[in-house]
A and B are shown apart, each in its own frame.
Chain A
Amino acid sequence: MDTNKNIEANSSSFDDIEEKIHANQVLYDQLHQSLVDESIAQVDEDERSGRHSASEISDTETIFSRLSNYYQANELFRYAIWGFGAVFLATTILTIIEYPLFSGSVKDDVGDGFMFGGSEPNWLDTFFHTFWWAVVTFTTVGYGDVSPETHLGKFLTIIIMILNLGIVTMLTGAVSSVLVAARLKGDDKLDETKFHGHLIIAGWNPAVQSALRLVEANEDSTSVVILINETEEEIIKRAISGFDRLDITHLSENFTQEGVLKKAYIEECGTFMIVPDESGLLPNEKPDEDKTVLTALTAKSILEDIQVVAYILDEEYISHLHRANVNEIVFPDEHIPHMLAKHVTDPGVPQLFDELITQEKQDKGIQVVPIPKGLVGLTHNKVSAYYKFKHKWLLVGYAIKKAGFSLEDQMGESGSPIIRDMIKEQLDGAGIKLSSDEHVIVEINPDDEYVIDGKHKALVLR
């Protein structure tokens, strides 16, 4: 009898709860619909204004600026333009000086065929005729169908031919030097415009391909990837052939060199990832992890703000990487004991991780998504409700960009101002930054009243 009552009581309270949840859902839907609309409207507006400004630049202007850029960047193009100009100038001069001679021979050579001036040759015909002669002479082809007859004409031709010798030599030299320089440079200069916020992966091992597959699956992440390693081109090509969304470029060079990193526009990159490099190693050889540390140092010396993620196999290197100010260190061995132990203490947890991490598919699993502007400043329970009811995602926690430890904040107003000032002055003078690098921390399942600011991104389970 008692138990029956209990069940009854329980069921009635379940009804209550259900009612409440439903009421909440309606409330949240109403509450957040406006926010959702607002944030979407904001995004639309941003896009529109971006497109508008792009169309303002006229087509001719872009062609002209492209040509001038090309002219400045390409030595060969420059020489060709000047060579062509020289021939054109010579032709003009010769046409003027030897007009009677060339205009006379036009009719003999061309006969009754097509002429600009109809039946009688005009100046354009003469010019073209002379131009033909000039090109034939300049290229050292020398048909001989047209040739100067007067002594003056021959004399001028001698001068032109001698000058031509120089010009041809210069042109040949220029062409070959440009080609040689290109070969020396490896002339695979990448197109600057698309590299911004891209992912650079230095080093190659099988984990890279799997990592790329996960990056490919998340449509919000960058699509531009540069791989730097000296693994055989064939292997890389095979490994990266299956990707549709990703635009992958391979630089087959030594990634420890500053010049190579700069070629990959490391200053502009979103993430610089260093992995144990197995390029050219035999199966029983271990990757050289000194290279990882060295590369991290090089990257940080190019620009302190680069987000560097290092994957390391040997624990010994962790402290070195910390010293190199690497933002995130991935050390897989760290997770293994936990996984093993959890099989004993909490069976199911390792399987959950398996499911979440290794089985990640497109639009499934744990992902970081930006929080709509309208939700910034609200509390965790509201944001969580937004994801729950709007997208049916479970909000697990937040990834927060933190400025890192700051000595200035730490000292605050304590102690005497003179000592604080002296510390700042002296550390500044010694080139030591008063704060550590920005890094990402996670806040998992915070209190309901936890307030979200602009630096938060949502970790959701989709």
Chain B
Amino acid sequence: MSVSASQIQKINYFSKVPEKLCSEIAEAVIEEKCSPGTVLLKEGEAGDTMLLIFQGQVEVSKNMMVKASSGFTMSTKSIIRLETTDPAPSNDPITQPTVSVVKAPAFGIGEFSLVLDDAKRTSHVTAMTDVKYGILSLEHFSRIVDKNPSIGGTVYFEVAKSAVNNLATATQDISNLTQAFFFALTK
């Protein structure tokens, strides 16, 4: 079964792309399925593909140095869970979420790969339910953009918006961490 244009359009990065062009993207997407627990993306790995999650729930997590009773250890911390609503996951997640679950019709993850060659994955993405997803490689996408430059504008605008939002949050995080750092130092 191949991916349909309407499925592509549910993903926010492609929401402004006309249906005709969506079907062109859909043709380039390779559809995959995986079972719960599968690691879809690994932090630090280079990747030149963007994943389009059509159905299921995934957890985004990061490696962090934390202080445990036995000293500092590296541990994986969940950051957020993403869940599709159209269609909803076909089964329950393997573990109950400890972080907030963000819901949307469908998701695109690893979108920086549409901008950068060999972009490093910034976090782990693990399937929590059965997941139906599609793979869109930079190579395929650039070929489509070359043919229809108008796609590039709308898609990259959405990618840039998300990047800017991430940057704003990151700036706040740095300011919070700096404050906490001074707080810890002056005690």
Contact = CB atoms under 8 A, between A and B. Distances in A.
A binds B: yes
A415 B184 contact: no
Contacts of A432: 183-184, 187
Nearest to A431: B187
Interface residues of B, number: 20
A426 B66 contact: yes
B177 interface: yes
Nearest to B183: A407
A235 interface: no
Contact of A410 (B64, B67, B79, B179): B179
A426 B172 contact: no
Given A415-B172, A422-B66, A430 B184 contact: yes
A410 B181 CA distance: 13
B140 interface: no
A47 to B, nearest CB: 43
Contacts of A433: 187
B99 interface: yes
A423 interface: yes
A419 interface: yes
B179 A407 contact: yes
B173 A416 contact: yes
Contacts of A434: 183
Given A415-B175, A416-B173, A426 B67 contact: yes
Interface string B146-187: 000000000000000000000001001101110110011011
A23 B173 CA distance: 57
Interface residue SS majority, chain A: helix
A419 B99 CA distance: 12
Nearest to A417: B100
Contact of B176 (A415, A429, A430): A415
B147 to A, nearest CB: 38
B42 interface: no
B52 to A, nearest CB: 24
B176 A411 contact: yes
A193 B60 CA distance: 59
Nearest to A322: B186
A40 B49 CA distance: 76
A419 B179 CA distance: 12
A320 interface: no
Contacts of A420: 176
A418 B77 contact: yes
A422 B179 contact: no
A325 to B, nearest CB: 9
Nearest to B180: A423
Interface in A416-459: 416-420, 422-423, 426-427, 429-430, 432-434
A432 B185 CA distance: 10
A323 B185 CA distance: 10
A418 B179 CA distance: 16
B108 to A, nearest CB: 19
Contacts of A429: 67
Nearest to A423: B180
Given A416-B79, A417-B100, A427 B180 contact: yes
Given A407-B179, A418-B77, A418-B79, A427 B184 contact: yes
Contacts of A415: 169, 172-173, 175-176
A414 interface: yes
B66 A414 contact: no
Interface of B: 64, 66-67, 77, 79-80, 99-100, 169, 172-173, 175-177, 179-180, 183-184, 186-187
Given A407-B180, A426-B67, A432-B183, 8 more contacts: A407-B183, A415-B176, A416-B79, A416-B172, A416-B173, A420-B176, A430-B67, A433-B187
Interface of A: 323, 407, 410-411, 414-420, 422-423, 426-427, 429-430, 432-434
12 contacts: A410-B179, A414-B172, A414-B175, A416-B172, A416-B173, A417-B99, A418-B79, A420-B176, A423-B176, A426-B67, A427-B180, A433-B187
